[in-house]
Structures are given as C-alpha cells and as structure tokens.
Structure 1
Amino acid sequence: DFYFVGYIFVNKELSLCYRPSTNNSFCTESKECLQYELVCKTDEYEVRHYSPTRWVSTDAEAYFMGVGAAMAFRRLFQYITGANDRGIQMEMTAPVLVKIPEETKMWEPAIYTLNFPLPAAYQDKAPAPTSDKLYFTDMPEMDVYVRSYGGWMLSVTSRLHTHLLTKELQRVRASYNHSFHYGITSRTSYLLPLLFPCVHNEVWYVADGEPVCTDPRDVNTLVSSHLSPTSRVLQQLLFMALKRFRIYV
C-alpha cells in the first residue's frame, strides 16, 4: 500500500539523506542554478521569491509522475545537447522542475510538464527546438511555499511531501494555487539515480497574494513541538495509514 511503502522509504531517506535547503542546494552539479530570495522560514516550510525566468518545456502523458518525467527529460536533454536550430550545446542548468496537476487519479493518465531553466546567455534569445513537442515557458515573478526532502523523487515520496505541505498550509490558512504544484529535483535523479540516491528534492506551491510567514501555535503544534522533523513525518504517515484502513485511535 502507498502509505506503508512510504513509511519504510521515507524513514530511510529522511534519516540518511535529508539536508536543509540553501540557495546552492542544486548548484553542486551545474554551473548555473536558479537563484531566489528567502522571504521567511518555519519548521515545516519556507517561502521564497523568484524573479521572472524563461524555461524550455515539454509535456508527457503517463499514469505515474516518474514515468512521464523520464520521457520528458530525454527530450529536453536532447535539446540542450544540440537538437535545436543552431546546433548549440548548452550547459545544463538546475533545477529540473515538474509541473504536476493537483487532481490526478491512479487509474487515469495525467499530463506532466518538465522544465529546464535556460542558461543566462539564452534567456532572451534561445535557439528554437527541432522537436515540435518542446516549447518555451515564461515563468512570472512569484512567491512559492517550499518543502524540502532527500532521496529519490518518486510518485510515492512526491505525494507524501505534497500532502504534508498542503496540510501545514491549510493549518496556517495560507492562500495558494490549488490547481497544480511543482516537484523539483536535480539532473542526477535522471542521469545517475543509482549512484546518487541522496538527491535534494522539493515540493512547491505558488502563493496567492501575500505569503503567510507566521507559525501560529495550536494544540497539535504544542503536542508535537518536541519531536524531530523525521519523527513528525513518521507520525503523519502512521496517521494516514490508520485513516486509510478506517482504524481510529
């Protein structure tokens, strides 16, 4: 079952792979990476401000996010390694961003959009893709709510951390775009996944209006405030599993 698999996997990846996020979390393997301004940070999420940027994008239809992202990654990688109208080979930038629709069903395929940020030298005038499946996306200036985690960005881990982030945003009454979210990882996840299992990953929700940076205290927060981040995640996983099987305590 999803939640029990998640319990085992997340227990391992959190204890071995988790590191706090920084502006350089994705810069260890790329010469260029997306920069941001840290607006605020709580125990459960951080708020970042991003300036407008241009990305090269492609869509893939699949039943699972990981399958769709892998197909899309190959197309984008071909583009930056010469499959463009000028035959230009570009250095790969970071991070890799996957747009994930919020309403997905396990028995129906969904459209996943993979994005590479264009290098600074090509932000204004990028070579055109030779494939008609690729296009450019202009990301506007935005504030995003971010939750970071380590390990592989699989469907199970992505869903888990998406759930944990949305639960916290609802608790603090934050306004955000509910129609989609972003899964963020590095190129290592696709090129050398078995050699680098401890990859930095993130979940993003785009803030709607002024972001919420406070951390209001309530009974649930006070009860769990002494727990470590790993223990809080495992506590949530156990609750989700019990709820799924209609076991109440």
Structure 2
Amino acid sequence: MFGMIKNSLFGTTEEAEYKMLSSETKEGVSFEVRRYDPGKYASVYSEGRNFDQVTGELVRKLLMYIGGSNEQGEAMGTAVPLIITVYPRNDGVLSRRLVVGIRVPSLFQQEPPTPTDSAIKIEDRPGMTVYALQFGGFAGESEYRAEALRLTRTLGETAPFQRKQYFCCSYDPLKPYGRRNEVWFLQEEP
C-alpha cells in the first residue's frame, strides 16, 4: 500500500505509506510485517498523566495543527494513523510517559508548517519495520494493552522486537463507530 488517499466523513485522509513485507497467521492471530519510510512527524510529549487522561487532549492538538492552526494557516488535510508511543513497565502497565505523533502529509514533508502551539515539535523519524496487529472498537489503555499482550504471545519470546516501547495506532479518532486500531511492535534491526 503506497500513499493511500481516501475521502472520508472528515475530508481527505492520507494514510502513511508502507511496504507490506509479509502477512502471517499464528495460532489464529493475523498480523502484518510492514516497512515504513523515514519522514517528518508532528509530535507532542506528555509526562505524569496516564494514557486515558491525556491522549484525547494531545490528539486534538495535532488535529488542530494539521487542520490549519499553524503559522502559515495551512490546512493539510488529515493524516493517519495517529501513533502513540508508550513505554510499558515490566508488569505490562504503561508508564506515565507517552508521545503522540502524526506523519506530516506528503505535500508538506519538505517544509512542514510551523506549529503555533509550542508543545508541538516537528521531528525527523527514521524508517522502521513493524509487526502490526489490527483490531476494532473504541481503544483506550486497557484495549491496547490486551492487544499488545496478544501480539507478544503470538510472536513469542524470541521474536526480534523492542520490548521497552510500542505503538498504539488509531486510524479513525473522530469516528463514533467502525474504528480501526493497531498495535505496532518495532522490529529490532539485524
């Protein structure tokens, strides 16, 4: 899938490009291995509040930014997924530190508009290979944790992925139903 653009209830949406490396099913659980190219992301950091307390606020900041709340007044359309980087403790509970990021749409990758909100930072993120597990419904911390545990069990203890962080992805943060969510584990590079 490369640069899928679709029209939705909320206008034009650009999905981050990726190359499908494989699609697998183990013990009845289907997941994909994908390669994402490097790119510029708008990101907001939070420390001290839990996932469910802060994600809505941070997502709104990013949607406002790409919707035109930037120094250039550029409405960039909508980009998906929203990627929430979480840091689980050894017991699986998420720490009170997270990063919410959204890929800057393709037309603005070279020169992203300057955020007016000082909490938003523009970052260059490297390319990455991820194990992606898709699920539906409204997803909060407990749903993402359950799916991360399911993906961990499916991949097994020896799979080459990072254990200190993972990504909680939302493709439809504004839809009241029919949502698409994913958990991504970052594959360790050989």
Q: TM-score, normalised by structure 2?
A: 0.85
List gaps (5 residues or longer) in structure 2: none
Contact 1:50 1:141 in 2 (8 A): yes
Percent same amino acid among aligned pairs? 22
Match of 2:16 in 1: 34
> Quick check: 1:203 aligned with 2:183?
yes
Task: Show the 5 A alignment for 1:224-239.
Answer: none
1:28/1:96 Cα in 2 relative to 1: closer, same or farther (>3 Å)? farther
How far 1:209 sits from its partner (Å)?
Answer: 2.5
Contact 2:20 2:33 in 1 (8 A): yes
The superposition leaves residues 175-210 of structure 1 with CA deviations (integer Å, 9 ceiling, x where unpaired) of 111111001112x32x343xx2x2111000110125
Contact 1:147 1:203 in 2 (8 A): yes
Secondary structure of the equivalent of 1:159?
Answer: helix
Task: Show the 5 A alignment for 1:58-97.
Answer: 58-61=44-47, 63-97=49-83
Q: TM-score, normalised by structure 1?
A: 0.66
For 2:164, which of 164, 179, 203 is the aligned residue? 179
Whole-angstrom distance in 1 between the partners of 2:113 and 2:125: 18
Contact 2:19 2:36 in 1 (8 A): yes
More helix per residue: 1 or 2? 1
Contact 1:63 1:106 in 2 (8 A): no
What do you get for the CA RMSD once the two structures are aligned?
A: 2.6
How far 1:25 sits from its partner (Å)?
Answer: 9.1
Contact 1:47 1:143 in 2 (8 A): yes
For 1:100, which of 86, 92, 95 is the aligned residue? 86
Corresponding letter in the other structure for 1:51: D
More strand per residue: 1 or 2? 2
List gaps (5 residues or longer) in structure 1: 1-21, 211-249
The superposition leaves residues 18-41 of structure 1 with CA deviations (integer Å, 9 ceiling, x where unpaired) of xxxx77999563431112111112
